[in-house]
Amino acid sequence: MTYRNDHLNDKIQDPLDRIRQPFKRFLHIESSGGILLIVATVLALIVANSEWGNYYETFFKQELRIGTENFYLSESMLHWINDGLMAIFFFLVGLEIKRELLVGELSSPKKAALPIIAAVGGMLIPALIFVFTMGDGLGKEGWGIPMATDIAFSLGILSLLGKRVPLPLKVFLVAFAIVDDIGAIVVIALFYSHEIHWAFLIIALGLITFLFILNKFNIRYIPLYMVTGCIIWFLFLHSGIHATIAGVLIAFTIPSARKIDLEDFSFRMKRNLKDFEANPHTDDVALQHSQLAAIDNMQSQIFKIQSPLQQLEHNLHGFVTYLVMPLFAFANAGVVLKDSGVDTFNALTLTISGSLVFGKIAGIFLFSYLTVKLGLSALPDKVQWKHIFGAGVLGGIGFTMSLFISNLAYEKIGLFQGVVENQAKLGILMGSLVAALFGYLYLKFVFSRDTVKVKS
């Protein structure tokens, strides 16, 4: 019994462990999610270019009606994925952004300067390369495509390098990728939304204000936020602002405060565990009423120590990582290559892939270098410039967000929409693949040399 008490005390009393464990769990989920994205992408390419290609295209174009006979939504399967399920993805992104702003790498100017400015460079330079290269050519609307970084893929590549990767480098990559997501959200809201229907938007903003008021009065009933959030999503869907933006805004209304503090939690858990062990029971089937009461109390305290924001973020990660993102990849990565020749592989394809690879490297590395040299920030512990360069290479893995932006950029261009979308998607896949392979090989070489130097 004593050992179990000591073990529990160690878990409760180690504040660093409380900080490390959620982040390590996050990295593990994102890394395995990257593998699933690769599998879903390869399957989409195989199916789209096989004899089942027509079935693949037809399936995602068929209508799906949800609702009652008098009140329903009818959209294609692809729209339900891109506007519906991806709203949940953006909701999770919003939760992550809020957490980082409150307690993470973006919570103070000194800590936030490096990843923020690196992310700005990683968005600005690729967009400029795209604009200057494409000019007024067909597909010029896609300037926002190479601005994105896919956090799941990039962390997945880092995970392949094992324990040699310094944790601060992973933190830097996560932080600038989250800032990158903020930039992509702003770009979508300002440049890739359509004609605004103000009545829907004003009602939606009113409901968002209502949720902020609930937050202010510490109303923690999550179903109330979720039901109201669904209504807000519906209103955004008809407002002209892309519906996924609703997910981010709703996330910012979720309460982030705990109901009890850590010291109180520790005291109550010890007391309940003591009550549980006070009357040991040898029955293999049933516990005593006092033991059941102690368990109920501990479950209540565990619920109270987690904020609604943390609960939702923890619970949604698996669903988004293992279902939403792979399904999105499978539905959107099916580039038709057969019988298309130069129509599929052209200037737009090369521009997007080049902007992702070279633009991200230049933007992330150069802006990081200037930030440190100007004294606005410092390199994280155990991180060197060669590591920042490698992170810049991995930043060129655009994939999920790039595919999403490409759908928005070209959905209204008319006659050549299908051709241009194929060209853009191929460019995204090529650029992301090159960035992943080059980033992996480069960092593997760097860390191998570091290991050799330490041993010698």
What would the two tokens of residue 67 be? 């609702």
| Cα–Cα nearest to 102, from 226, 232, 215 | 215
Residue 143: pLDDT band with limits 50, 70, 90: very high
Question: What are the residue boundaries of the structural domains of the chain, listed by start?
Answer: 2-193+242-257+307-455
What would the two tokens of residue 162 be? 């094992």
pLDDT of res. 283:
67
Reply yes or no on whether the pLDDT at 78 is more than 60: yes
Each residue's pLDDT tens digit, 221-262? 899 999 999 999 999 988 888 888 899 999 999 999 888 888
Reply yes or no on whether the pLDDT at 3 is more than 50: no
What would you report as the CA-atom Rg of the chain, rounded to the nearest whole angstrom?
Answer: 24
Each residue's pLDDT tens digit, 26-44? 555 556 777 788 889 899 9
- For residues 248 and 94, the answer to whether their CB atoms sit within 8 Å is yes
**Alpha carbon distance 127, 187 (integer Å):** 11
Reply yes or no on whether the pLDDT at 425 is more than 60: yes
The distance between the two most distant Cα atoms of the chain, rounded to a whole number of Å, is 79
Question: What whole-number percentage of the chain has pLDDT above 70?
Answer: 88
Query: What residues contact residue 376 under an 8 Å CB cut-off, 6+ apart?
Result: 113, 114, 117
**Alpha carbon distance 273, 284 (integer Å):** 19
Q: Which segment of 198-202, 206-210, 344-348 scores lowest on mean pLDDT? A: 344-348
Reply yes or no on whether the pLDDT at 23 is more than 60: no
**Alpha carbon distance 389, 368 (integer Å):** 10
Question: What whole-number percentage of the chain has pLDDT above 90?
Answer: 38
Query: What residues contact residue 8 under an 8 Å CB cut-off, 6+ apart?
Result: 269, 270, 273
The top-scoring range by mean pLDDT among 127-136, 186-195, 298-307, 339-348 is: 127-136
What would the two tokens of residue 439 be? 């980033």
For residue 379, give the DSSP letter.
Answer: P
pLDDT of res. 27:
53
pLDDT of res. 415:
61
pLDDT of res. 56:
92
pLDDT of res. 281:
63
Reply yes or no on whether the pLDDT at 445 is more than 90: yes
How confident is the prediction for the chain on average, in pLDDT? 84
| Cα–Cα nearest to 245, from 90, 406, 97 | 90
Each residue's pLDDT tens digit, 177-187? 888 888 888 89
Among the CATH numbers 3.30.70.890, 2.40.50.140, 3.90.1580.10, 1.20.1530.10, which is that of 2-193+242-257+307-455? Answer: 1.20.1530.10
Residue 9: pLDDT band with limits 50, 70, 90: very low
